Structure 1
Amino acid sequence: MRIHHNSHPEDAKNYDTSRLREEFLTEALFLPGEINIVYSHIDRMVAMGVCPEPEQTLALDHFVDSQSFGTTFFLERRELGIVNLGTTAEIRCHNGLSYRLEYLDALYLGQGEQAIEFTSLDQEQSAKLYCLSAPAHHSYPSRIIQRDQANQIELGTKENANERLITQYLHPEILPTCQLCMGITHLKTGSVWNTMPAHTHERRMEAYFYFNLDPSQVVFHLMGEPDETRHIVVRNHQLILSPSWSIHSGCGTQNYSFVWGMAGENQTFDDMDFVSMDDIR
């Protein structure tokens, strides 16, 4: 398990490229045949890349060190969101229930779910399940959210190169969660900008996981305080952790997609501190 500590914005102003990447970027989250775990002290968020090989089953308990979380099982005091970014997969829990996820389906597992197992149902390709977990204070029902059940919102214009489709999966209008919110943004062909004009949300952190990006292309992920911006070059299947004091925007050399996830004080999506284009530096 890799651990990221929180960073003060005054300190982050002095980070060079290598230090920025070390603090906020995970370059390889999907490792074949493994559950790769990233623990962040930013709002105690945990990201996981679950990558069972063809017809392989991975048990979460085998990869989670309970001593690291101070609990007897992973979701004893947590909730978990899962998005399938690969071939068909199945998730099983202790109560005998199983959930079959197709590409871009999502699953919410509530506090208290145990003995979680991930299986690739494809005979040729590894599954790729992207997971986020946040602390939870209440047990809400587990549920699949299929791709066509997510809220879909079209934003942006061709003139501003930011036409995009936002799909909201773990969202208050879809199902109740303690604090975890997740969704996917898809940039349309010819559009490369996301979340610009920029904003921060002091009461929530955010994680970005980029995908649908050709290996020869990159995204310049923008972060930092609005008057002290920095960039990190991000490639396909890479994760950025964004503290609440930072903007989280990006511009790619082609269109791309990313899974966004948030945790913090609230789930109010308009609770943003917008940054004027005249003030960003």
Structure 2
Amino acid sequence: MLTVETRHAVSQAETKTLDTEGLRRAFHAGGMFQPGEIRLVYSHYDRMIMGGAVPNGKALVLDHVKECGTASILDRRELGVVNIGGSGRVSAAGTDYAMEKGDVLYLPMGAGPVTFAGDGRFYILSAPAHKALEARLIRIEDAKSFRTGSAETANDRTIFQFIHPEVMQSCQLVVGYTQFHGGSVWNTMPAHLHDRRMEAYLYFDMPEDRRVFHFMGEPQETRHLVMANEEAVLSPPWSIHCGAGTGSYTFVWAMAGDNVDYRDVEVVPMGALR
């Protein structure tokens, strides 16, 4: 079963007028990981697609998505898959990829239908592509990683870069995830902007009663969304994106836009936030 929800772009001026429910309708995405289903969110921010596939004992095939306007989703797109669950398998273009929790798979334009199977909980990310590249399965030991932050500032964390120029080539999709160490809860602070790229966050590895307060909006007009486990947020190019949790968690970050330069950001001074 395939379900697709479309999210249109929302301006800074409109965002200032939204109440909590309005903000959640525009930027929050929950319920993507349903047993036996593929659920996608088609965003008008750089045409990013995010979603979940949970085979739950039967194979699920991702192929035609009406919103893409092509016969098959990868006819003019590239796709990243992050397994946030148990052992699973993803198949495309005649190749099977066995994926454990934490593995990331890149599938290029032209790879055809994608089949999900096993006990995985697959987080799907896709952006338009301009050429066919090499498919690649990237395990956590093959990712580029670095530890940053400190316990004193509650942001001691390790950043793992998977679909990233220093690991592999993609057209515009950049994907990785960040894991926090005990006692640390703050992500992406000081906050920053990157007007040339949108971003999406998926928060996971959280107990049922844990929450992350995700901050968004213009630096002088901040808003927040309360995020539960396996919920995602769309971050427009004009918005900050940072957060703090009630305990440690992991989040997948994904970007699409004009470039793949991870360092192309404008840091927002703490004193500028309102």
| Same topology, TM > 0.5 | yes
Q: C-alpha separation between the residues in 2 aligned to 1:103 and 1:253?
A: 23
Secondary structure of 2:98's partner?
strand
Partner amino acid, structure 1, of 2:89: E
Q: Deviations over 1:94-153 (max 9, x none)?
A: 3x2111111101100000011211111xxxxx4200010000001000010011111111
Aligned with residue 231 of structure 2, among 224, 229, 238: 238
Aligned with residue 36 of structure 1, among 35, 39, 43: 39
Q: C-alpha separation between the residues in 2 aligned to 1:207 and 1:73?
A: 23
1:112 equivalent in structure 2: 110
1:59 equivalent in structure 2: 61
1:99 equivalent in structure 2: 97
Q: Does 1:76 align with 2:75?
A: yes
Partner amino acid, structure 1, of 2:113: A
Q: How many angstroms does 1:267 deviate by?
A: 1.0
Q: C-alpha separation between the residues in 2 aligned to 1:68 and 1:151?
A: 34
1:136 equivalent in structure 2: 129
**Structure 2 contact 87–98 (Cα < 8 Å) conserved:** yes
Secondary structure of 1:173's partner?
coil
Q: C-alpha separation between the residues in 2 aligned to 1:216 and 1:238?
A: 13
2:155 equivalent in structure 1: 162
Aligned with residue 53 of structure 2, among 50, 55, 60: 50
Q: C-alpha separation between the residues in 1 aligned to 2:214 and 2:69?
A: 34
Runs of 4+ in 1 over 6 A off after TM superposition: none
Partner amino acid, structure 1, of 2:219: P
1:206 equivalent in structure 2: 199
2:11 equivalent in structure 1: 8
Aligned with residue 267 of structure 2, among 269, 274, 279: 274
Aligned with residue 259 of structure 1, among 252, 258, 263: 252
Structure 2: stretches of 5+ with no match in the other structure: none
Aligned residues: 271
Secondary structure of 1:74's partner?
coil
Secondary structure of 1:278's partner?
helix
Structure 1: stretches of 5+ with no match in the other structure: 121-125
1:171 equivalent in structure 2: 164
Q: Does 1:24 align with 2:23?
A: no
What is the TM-score of this pair, normalised by structure 1? 0.95
Q: Deviations over 1:63-112 (max 9, x none)?
A: x43x3221111100000000110111111123x21111111011000000
2:146 equivalent in structure 1: 153
Q: C-alpha separation between the residues in 1 aligned to 2:113 and 2:79?
A: 13
1:248 equivalent in structure 2: 241
Partner amino acid, structure 1, of 2:84: L
Computed over aligned residues only, the root mean square deviation of the Cα atoms, in angstroms, reads 0.8
Q: C-alpha separation between the residues in 1 aligned to 2:259 and 2:252?
A: 19
Give aligned-pair identity as a percent.
45
